[in-house]
Amino acid sequence: MYLPWLLWHYQIDAVLHTVWPTALISHLWHYLLPVPYFVTVHASEILDDRVTWRRRIKGYLKPWRQAALEKANGIFPVSGYSAGLVMDLGIEENRIQVITNGVDPARFKPVTAYKSGDGQKTLLTVARLDLHKGHDRVLEALAILKEEGFRPHYNIVGEGEEETRLRILANNLGLERQVTFTGFIPDSQLPDIYAACDIFIMASRQIPGRLDLVEGFGISLLEASASGLPVVAGRSGGVADAVIDGETGVLVDPDDPQNIAHALKLLLRDNEFARQLGEKGRHWSETQMTWERAAERLLNAIERLM
């Protein structure tokens, strides 16, 4: 009952829902209070499966979700991949506009230039330890590199249900001295974590039968670029909107440790190429991918779709 009171009391012109379940409320009241509403879409929240009880409940709401999306004045997916998912639901293309996530380049920024010396390089992944994030494939790639004489250190920042399996895998591959599991790092400390490393890697992949595990965009990839790091990322989901292949990073087959190892070796050996990727990523973040630019695109889209 609170939403209709807000709409009436403050004479709201439009409502933006950052997740579709709240759009159900706007759809419910739309016939009494016809205020235009808009919905953002990431990925897994509009894909249906029965993996968890929460996703079962979401599946039961599918007809209502479909009606709420069809009634929305506009839908804003965070990537081209997410936009495809929305179009697959039969939503008209002219009501869909991609509004990517942004980054704060004043907060995430390079502290020093790319380390061009011959010392041990440091890789970084910042993500929940979920199956689709690809930590296991990175570990397998590091084992390949170790046989070829490359031994970068690998910092894994985050926590999740995959931690035990990943620790066992690292030990079995003989990487226990190369890999550090930092656990949870407070958000306030993340800029320093990025800036202290040389290469960011997140080999996100899609898992057959697990629609709940999809990379809709990959905001940590953008944070890495803003920090001046070259990026290696799995070509899956909406990652291609967060990394420009060959310009801000290298996209790889996330299911192929050999391909991941090849990309890492390229950046480990070619300091100049790594530096160029980091600089282009930083420039792109500052000029095109700030939250201010995202907000500007959002407001323009809302005005057009009203």
User: Matching CATH topology for 2-102+290-305 and 122-287?
Assistant: yes
Question: In this predicted model, what pLDDT tens digit does every residue of 141-188 receive, in sequence order?
Answer: 999 999 999 999 999 999 999 999 999 999 999 999 999 999 999 999
- Give the C-alpha separation, 114 to 111, whole Å: 9
Question: In this predicted model, what pLDDT tens digit does every residue of 188-230 receive, in sequence order?
Answer: 999 999 999 999 999 999 998 888 899 999 999 999 999 999 9
Sheet of strand 249-252: strand arrangement: 179-183, 153-157, 122-126, 199-202, 231-234, 249-252
pLDDT of 250 above 50: yes
* Ramachandran angles phi, psi of 263, nearest 5°: -65, -40
**What percent of the chain stands above pLDDT 90?**
73
DSSP secondary structure letters along 123-143: EEEES---GGG-HHHHHHHHH
Q: Any idea where the domains of the chain sit in the sequence?
A: 2-102+290-305, 122-287
Q: Which residues pair with 75 in a beta bridge?
A: 39, 96
- Select from 3.90.640.10, 3.30.1200.10, 3.40.50.2000, 3.90.1150.10 the CATH code of 2-102+290-305: 3.40.50.2000
**How many CA atoms lie less than 13 Å away from 284 in the CB half-sphere?**
22
Record the pTM. Answer: 0.91
CATH superfamily of 122-287: Glycogen Phosphorylase B; (3.40.50.2000)
